[in-house]
Structure 1
Amino acid sequence: MATTTDNAAQLIFAPNVLHNQALTSVKFLSSCFAGAVAGILGLENWLGFALFIASIVSTSFIIYAINCRGKPAKYLPGGLGELVNPGQDNIFTFILVWTLFYGIIHVYD
């Protein structure tokens, strides 16, 4: 029977730590891609942020279903809450890429 100490030790197990870094990279790239899409489509105000939220939710669902196999607590210390949390750096990345692509594409509109 696994105890909470075993679960905590498993979170620092090297393959799980490498998996956490991969999940962080996937969420970061998802934010970049969503920002580019929002900028190219010319979304403004709440529509752009709605796209960001949809991107985070869909990415989290894919990670939950495929990578974590329905057990995010095994790979992330916060479990499902940590999986859905977009993170401060991902929000800023989204806004940066969104404004960059919006400025490049829609500069003369």
Structure 2
Amino acid sequence: MATPAEVAAQQLIYPPNVMFTTQALTTVKFLAACFAGAAAGILGLQNWSGFALFLVSTLFSSLCIHTLNCRGRPAKYIPDGWTGLMNPGQENASTFILVWTLFYGIVHVYD
């Protein structure tokens, strides 16, 4: 059974704001994956070093959102809190790999 404080906190959630925040967070994570994939491809990273760059970019973008946008309280703005902020998502990992291979092929075609 929910406590009265939890019920009051749930009533303060405005669904359009939650939808906007979720969409903005998805867009930022997508762009971070694209830029990290482009950087990995241009630098010529292969195997685990490329995935390490993806991990570092995910951590950096999550830390920036946590510090700048959420003001240190991600649970107030993101439904899952810190775990929802850190989750890169399957589609963003696929985007990273796609952009990584694209830029690697363009830049390093004659190596």
By how many angstroms is 1:14 displaced? 1.7
1:41 matched residue in structure 2 = 43
**What is the aligned counterpart of 1:86 among 60, 77, 88?**
88
Q: Which runs of 5+ in 2 are unaligned?
A: none
Supply the RMSD in Å over aligned alpha carbons: 1.6
1:90 counterpart letter in structure 2: N
**What is the aligned counterpart of 2:76 among 60, 74, 77?**
74
Does the 8 Å CA contact 1:31/1:90 hold for their aligned counterparts?
A: yes
Aligned CA distance change for structure 1 residues 59 and 10 (closer, same or farther; 3 Å): farther
TM-score (norm 2): 0.89
Does the 8 Å CA contact 1:64/1:71 hold for their aligned counterparts?
A: yes
Does the 8 Å CA contact 2:21/2:78 hold for their aligned counterparts?
A: no
By how many angstroms is 1:75 displaced? 1.8
Tell me which stretches of 4 or more aligned residues in structure 1 moved more than 4 Å: 9-12
2:93 counterpart letter in structure 1: I
Aligned CA distance change for structure 1 residues 11 and 41 (closer, same or farther; 3 Å): farther
1:19 matched residue in structure 2 = 21
Instruction: State the alpha-carbon separation in 2 of the partners of residues 66 and 36 from structure 1.
Output: 25
2:5 paired with 1:3: yes
| Number of residues of Structure 1 aligned to a counterpart in Structure 2 | 108
Aligned partner of residue 3 in structure 1, secondary structure: helix
The percentage of aligned residue pairs carrying the same residue is 56
TM-score (norm 1): 0.90
Instruction: State the alpha-carbon separation in 2 of the partners of residues 44 and 12 from structure 1.
Output: 44
1:18 counterpart letter in structure 2: F
2:97 matched residue in structure 1 = 95
Instruction: State the alpha-carbon separation in 2 of the partners of residues 63 and 98 from structure 1.
Output: 24
By how many angstroms is 1:50 displaced? 0.5
